[in-house]
Amino acid sequence: MFARRFALAVAVLAGLIGSQGPEFAQQYRQRLGGALEELNRIIAEFDAEARAQNLTPAEGLSRLEDNADPLARQRGEDMAAAIDRAKRLSEQLQAIASGSPLTRLYVVARDFDPEIAKSALDNYEPAAPLSLGALAAAGLAAFWGWAATHLIAWPFRRRSRLRAMRSQSGAPNSG
């Protein structure tokens, strides 16, 4: 009886926590969009600087990365990293935007950017989302919480049943 009540409590708690997944994904997506806008602004400035020198952006990067000056070389490495990060974040934002609510959770969990995730978590405000995606996430989390509790409790319940059966079979016959 205790195990069932405990499993129900774990399922409810897991459901409440799981319902926050879509809200976190939404806040993560907003921060992702802001980070991408800033990276695109930086990249556009670099592209304009390269064009002002009659260079393509790739030629500008190559010139910086091959420069003997450590500061210029570091600037080239930083710009290359910014361009790569912008591409990765853009792909992630497209995957989030085009996915269903549960797919968005998967995309965020699979490809999250640590800086953006930390920022979103630091400023996260729990909500009571009533969207279909939030309810589905809550239901899945509740089910997994319930199932995990039963799976963990299974050996103990089995041992208890075996003990009860042994005590019944070993009891003197009152007939």
Structure tokens at 152: 């963990």
109 band by pLDDT with thresholds 50, 70 and 90: confident
Which tens digit of pLDDT belongs to each residue from 116-156? 999 988 888 777 666 677 677 777 777 777 778 778 777 77
Could you give the CA distance from residue 166 to residue 82 in angstroms, rounded to a whole number? 68
Q: What is the mean pLDDT of residues 20-45?
A: 91
Length of the chain measured in residues: 175
- Report the amino acid identity of residue 31: R
Cα of 54 vs its chain's centroid, Å = 42
Which tens digit of pLDDT belongs to each residue from 7-25? 777 777 777 777 777 888 8
Could you give the CA distance from residue 65 to residue 116 in angstroms, rounded to a whole number? 27
pTM, full prediction: 0.65
CB 108 within 8 A of CB 28: yes
> What per-residue confidence (pLDDT) applies to 129?
66
